[in-house]
Chain A
């Protein structure tokens, strides 16, 4: 990790640190875990499933629809667990680097909170669904080799931010969705609360590192924009897990996945999910309009 070429990061984090301290809770005692989920309730909001708004949803039986909400909830939480597990390990490696000395306090809160999120997401999946979906394979020779060290640092924190903002789109909606079982609503609500601080921090550190990238070589900014655009698309595509379709008893999972990903109603849904993030990236000067 060549962080020596990167200037120390100074951010005004007093307010976020104070909120993290005063809002601290014990995740292991916070939730009342019921023995089972009511059989006819959706596990995630129907409007947030990957087939919502398409004829593919309407063609399902009610049993398949409920099963799809169940397995897509497990997929959503599994993505969270694996995604944050990988990104958190990047943060752990940096926590006492000189570059991050001034934000180390907040990084401790971040790591602690993410560890707790992993626990309650897994608890939900294992208790009620009996499993997690496995992590998607990743390659060691990664897609950032063409970027400078500072841009790679930016990418680490950008991935965390993008990931958290996408997840938060779902959490914010499900936190108040009265059609869901109480425990599902609670998990989404508690996560949404913690993530509002993470997103605020993520945007600050993103802006700082993007400034350093642009100062070093403005020509690298479009390369970062291209990487981020690919990452946004990749993140959306991971929501469409053929294993969840299969588990819900829906045939031709891979063909269904392809049809769903191409459907105009889903394109519109993707734009809604990414709206906040895209407008942030555009304002920061690293939006998709830079991608050739």
Chain B
């Protein structure tokens, strides 16, 4: 999760803290141009590949959602 936070904070120098339930997409913390890189980062962290045709944006909206969908799932399996 630290790597995910760093990715977002690096691209948003104006954000000094990152709430776990901030809507990353509506707030433009992750925009279209960064989204592809963000997906690659998550694939690398989880070792799981994400099919661009199947993805559900709601899985990416908040740090909580990302944690639940991608990171804890990994820890549990």
Question: Which of the 9-residue segments B14-22, B24-32, B65-73 touches chain A?
Answer: B24-32
Q: Which of chain B's residues have a CB closer than 8 A to the CB of A231? A: 33
Q: In the complex, are the beta carbons of B53 and A142 less than 8 A apart?
A: no
Question: What is the size, in residues, of chain B's interface with A at 8 Å between Cβ atoms?
Answer: 19
Number of interface residues of A (CB under 8 A): 21
Given known A143-B28, A145-B28, A257-B40, contact A138–B53 (CB-CB < 8 A): no
Contact present for B33 and A238 (CB under 8 Å): no
> A90 to nearest B CB, angstroms?
14
* Residue pair B44, A142 in contact (C-beta under 8 Å): no
A-side contacts of B35, CB under 8 Å: 136-139
A237 at the interface (CB under 8 A from B): yes
Instruction: Flag if A143 contacts B44 (CB, 8 Å).
Output: no
CA distance A119 to B39 in the complex (A): 29
Q: A136-B52, A137-B52, A255-B44 are in contact. Are A230 and B28 (CB under 8 A)?
A: no
> How long is the Cα–Cα vector from A231 to B43 in the complex, in angstroms?
23
A134 at the interface (CB under 8 A from B): yes
Chain B neighbourhood of A136, CB < 8 A: 35-36, 52
Name the interface residues of A193-246: CB closer than 8 Å to any CB of B.
230-231, 233-234, 237-238, 242
Which A residues are closer than 8 A to B by beta carbons? Answer: 134-139, 141-143, 145, 230-231, 233-234, 237-238, 242, 254-255, 257-258
